[in-house]
């Protein structure tokens, strides 16, 4: 099991990415969520979490590659590429390295919709490790407390939420 700097296993919430699979455009938070997903597809993630109506489902991190296959990825506009270049101190290019997909993109609407349905219907294939850090960067469905009530039953899990756009 991989460990972060604290020595605790990391559980990354993919619910927002799964929910947005059929959407052809990415919003700002989706770009952030996709950046985290790409990072965690390479290292530092122990389990993926997708919350359902009663409790979250946990998946092995290898499943992230399948999710990224269907994720909407658009090339950034020239203005974005210029700002990215300025912020990172790298030469300007049409596409920053992190926006290039590592696997083929299944871009058809119906293939993305079916991928979302498959994620929603697939049973969990692992469990949330003891003392895990639960990371939710998309604040998806925060208005529905039932999606997070499971945290009360897991006091060993340390929840971390990225709060934005207040």
Give 114-166 pLDDT, tens digit per residue: 888 888 888 888 889 999 999 998 877 777 788 888 899 999 999 999 887 76
Write down the pTM of the prediction: 0.74
Domain that holds residue 132: 10-73+106-161
Decide if 16 is inside a domain.
yes
Decide if 83 is inside a domain.
no
Rounded Cα distance between 27 and 40, Å, is: 20
**Of residues 106 and 38, which shows the higher confidence score?**
38
> At residue 4, does pLDDT exceed 50?
yes
Q: Which of 40, 42, 39, 54 is nearest to 11 (CA)?
A: 40
Decide if 58 is inside a domain.
yes
pLDDT of res. 2:
55
Decide if 65 is inside a domain.
yes
> At residue 91, does pLDDT exceed 50?
yes
Decide if 95 is inside a domain.
no
Rounded Cα distance between 143 and 146, Å, is: 9
Provide DSSP, 39-107: HHHHSS--EEEEE-SSSEEEE-GGGHHHHHHHS---PPPHHHHHHHHHHHT----SS-GGGS-SS----
Decide if 61 is inside a domain.
yes
User: Which whole number is the average pLDDT over 86-113?
Assistant: 62
Decide if 79 is inside a domain.
no
Decide if 157 is inside a domain.
yes
| Domain total in the chain | 1
Give 29-79 pLDDT, tens digit per residue: 888 888 888 888 887 789 988 886 667 889 888 888 888 887 765 545 556
């Amino acid at each position: 099991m991989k460990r972060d700097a604290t020595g605790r296993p990391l559980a990354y919430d993919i619910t927002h990415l799964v929910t947005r699979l059929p959407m052809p455009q990415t919003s700002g938070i989706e770009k952030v969520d996709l950046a985290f997903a790409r990072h965690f597809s390479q290292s530092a993630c122990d389990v993926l979490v997708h919350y359902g109506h009663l409790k979250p489902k946990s998946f092995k991190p290898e499943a992230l590659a399948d999710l990224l296959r269907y994720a909407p990825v658009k090339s950034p506009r020239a203005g974005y590429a210029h700002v990215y270049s300025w912020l990172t101190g790298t030469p300007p290019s049409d596409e920053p390295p992190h926006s290039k997909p590592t696997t083929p993109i299944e871009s058809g609407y119906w293939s993305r919709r079916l991928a979302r349905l498959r994620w929603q219907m697939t049973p969990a294939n692992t469990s949330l490790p003891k003392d895990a850090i639960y990371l939710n960067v998309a604040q998806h469905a925060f208005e529905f407390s039932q999606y997070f009530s499971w945290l009360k039953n897991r006091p060993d899990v340390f929840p971390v939420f990225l709060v934005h756009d207040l």
